[in-house]
Copies of this chain bind each other. A is one copy, B any other.
Amino acid sequence: MEEKLKLLKEKLAEIQSLSSIGAVLSWDQNTYMPTGGAAGRGEQQAILGKIAHEMATSDELGKLLDELKPYAEQLDPDSDDSRLIKVSAKDYDRTKRIPQEFVIEQSRVTTLSYSAWAEARQKNDYSIFEPHLEKVVDLNQRYAAFFPEFEHPYDALLDGFEPGMKTDDVKFIFNTIRPQQVELIQKISESQQVDDSFLHQHFEEDKQWAFGEEVITKFGYDWNRGRQDKAPHPFTISFNSDDVRITTRVNPEFYNPMLFGTMHECGHALYNLGINPELEKYGMGGGASLAIHESQSRLWENLVGRSFPFWQHFYPRLQEVFPTQLGNIGLDTFYKGINKVQPSLIRVEADEATYNLHIMLRLELEIAMIEGKAAIKDLPEIWNAKMQEYLGVTPPTDALGVLQDVHWSYGMMGYFSTYALGNLVSAQWWELIDKQIPNMEDQIRTGEFGELLGWLRENVHIHGRKFEPQELVQRVTGSKIDPNPYLRYLNKKYSEVYGL
């Protein structure tokens, strides 16, 4: 059996290498590729995808996994090898169930729907996107039907991003937080608004860049094992355990996007860099789920990067870098400014207090679409009504409403909730960290992040996707994903910022 396990690992390592080659192609495409390179890049990705798919669904791999299943049962169920066999068998099964023709149709539909979405958003004309969205919903319904064992078709979609997570669980969590978040926002809106006008000035791009890199160097980002480049839509990408790159964008007229974006992506990268290379090598890297990944990016961006102790350390330095812009702005004012809450139309620009509400709205719409309970043509109307209900704002145009996100045009449904779940989990980690590292705040106040990173590595990063997300959270914190720490965190923070 050891021989078969060795053979399995060889095959998985090849599949993982091919997948990481695709990542290099994507990184280049999103950073440096000249426009003319697009068609050729598409062909490269197509042939690579075809070969990887053949390898990932080969009968030989299936046979190996079948033969190894009883062996996995004999091993310690938490051992790397046992988990490797089980997770790989699940991967194999998921991939194998999707017929090649479906994959081709999916690719064709989403290529068209993406262009249609871009045009619809640009022209603020939902009717251009509507027929394509119909097809995307149909595709997702058919995809879900390949997995009849799930109770709810949306479970099958969720499972692709959050293994093991159920629609009912997510609904329950969101139903818990919605009224409390709505109430908090209501209270804030009745308070004196904080000033953040000083963040909207000219901040030199190269100085923003250098300060951002200074911060994440202190976080522990290793420049021998990564790099930062510009990209229109920031992302983190892993080629292997020793080459995990981040990207960011710089707005010279608004300070927030670059720095908080850089800290966010660094959080993702530190996760990938901390995964056991012996898991990563065989396709068990990547992280437990999108929510767990987001729990890392949000933790560094918000729990650390928007905290008072963090700025006690870094603010004098930032004032040195931008003396004209920030020389006369006190630490308190700055801290409140970067934590300003204001219900707004666009998810990606939302603050910590309102962000989850954007997600809930999308989740509800997606479930309704998949269940066939929402007519696609009515979507803008439903969207706007919910925006008014949750956030008290109504999009003046569909471009600023239902057309704002790219995800559906890519064919992705079941993805959005991972963003909100990530927020919740980040606060769960933080409550535990605060207990287990009692002087955490003092460390941050002196720019020390080594012990924090060590804790995350040991408890979260190292495992890769060996454990399912709920299982991982349970193992570390003693309970499943729990919205209460995040609610406590929000209430505490905004009580300070807004004197509630």
List A residues at the B interface (Cβ < 8 Å).
Answer: 13-14, 17-18, 20-21, 24-25, 27-28, 32-37, 39-41, 43-44, 46-48, 51, 222-227, 229, 239-243, 245
Inter-chain contact B48/A21, CB cutoff 8 Å: yes
Alpha-carbon distance A43/B225, docked complex (angstroms) = 16
Alpha-carbon distance A21/B36, docked complex (angstroms) = 16
Inter-chain contact B242/A39, CB cutoff 8 Å: yes
Contact partner of A242 (CB less than 8 A), chosen from B13, B14, B27, B36, is B36
Contact partner of A35 (CB less than 8 A), chosen from B13, B24, B224, is B224
Cross-chain pairs A/B with CB under 8 angstroms, 30 sampled: A13-B43, A14-B47, A17-B43, A17-B47, A18-B47, A20-B40, A20-B44, A21-B25, A24-B24, A24-B28, A32-B229, A34-B223, A34-B225, A34-B227, A34-B243, A34-B245, A36-B222, A36-B242, A36-B243, A37-B225, A37-B240, A37-B243, A39-B240, A39-B242, A40-B240, A40-B241, A40-B242, A41-B243, A43-B240, A51-B51
Alpha-carbon distance A26/B346, docked complex (angstroms) = 40
Inter-chain contact B44/A17, CB cutoff 8 Å: yes
Chain B residues, Cβ within 8 Å of A245: 34
Chain B residues, Cβ within 8 Å of A13: 43
Q: Which residue of B lies closest to A280 (CB)?
A: B40
Alpha-carbon distance A17/B39, docked complex (angstroms) = 12
Q: Which residue of B lies closest to A29 (CB)?
A: B24
Least distance between A159 CB and chain B CB atoms (Å): 29
Chain B residues, Cβ within 8 Å of A40: 20, 239-243
Chain B residues, Cβ within 8 Å of A240: 37, 39-40, 43
Q: Which residue of B lies closest to A43 (CB)?
A: B17
Closest 8 CB pairs of A and B: A40-B240, A37-B243, A36-B242, A36-B225, A17-B47, A36-B224, A35-B224, A21-B44
Alpha-carbon distance A35/B17, docked complex (angstroms) = 18
Chain B residues, Cβ within 8 Å of A242: 34, 36-37, 39-40
Alpha-carbon distance A416/B47, docked complex (angstroms) = 35
Least distance between A211 CB and chain B CB atoms (Å): 21
Alpha-carbon distance A27/B37, docked complex (angstroms) = 14
Alpha-carbon distance A36/B18, docked complex (angstroms) = 19
Alpha-carbon distance A489/B32, docked complex (angstroms) = 40
Q: Which residue of B lies closest to A226 (CB)?
A: B34
Least distance between A282 CB and chain B CB atoms (Å): 12
Alpha-carbon distance A227/B20, docked complex (angstroms) = 24
Inter-chain contact B32/A227, CB cutoff 8 Å: yes
Least distance between A245 CB and chain B CB atoms (Å): 8
Q: Which residue of B lies closest to A229 (CB)?
A: B32
Chain B residues, Cβ within 8 Å of A223: 34
Alpha-carbon distance A185/B46, docked complex (angstroms) = 55
Known A20-B40, A34-B223; further 11 A-B contacts with Cβ < 8 A = A17-B43, A21-B44, A24-B24, A24-B25, A24-B44, A32-B227, A34-B226, A36-B242, A37-B240, A37-B243, A51-B51
Least distance between A244 CB and chain B CB atoms (Å): 9
Chain B residues, Cβ within 8 Å of A48: 17-18, 21
Contact partner of A34 (CB less than 8 A), chosen from B28, B33, B39, B224, is B224
Chain B residues, Cβ within 8 Å of A32: 227, 229
Alpha-carbon distance A37/B277, docked complex (angstroms) = 13
Chain B residues, Cβ within 8 Å of A41: 239, 243
Chain B residues, Cβ within 8 Å of A21: 21, 25, 44, 47-48
Given A17-B43, A20-B40: A243 in contact with B33 (beta carbons within 8 A): yes
Alpha-carbon distance A245/B36, docked complex (angstroms) = 11
Q: Which residue of B lies closest to A47 (CB)?
A: B17
Least distance between A53 CB and chain B CB atoms (Å): 13
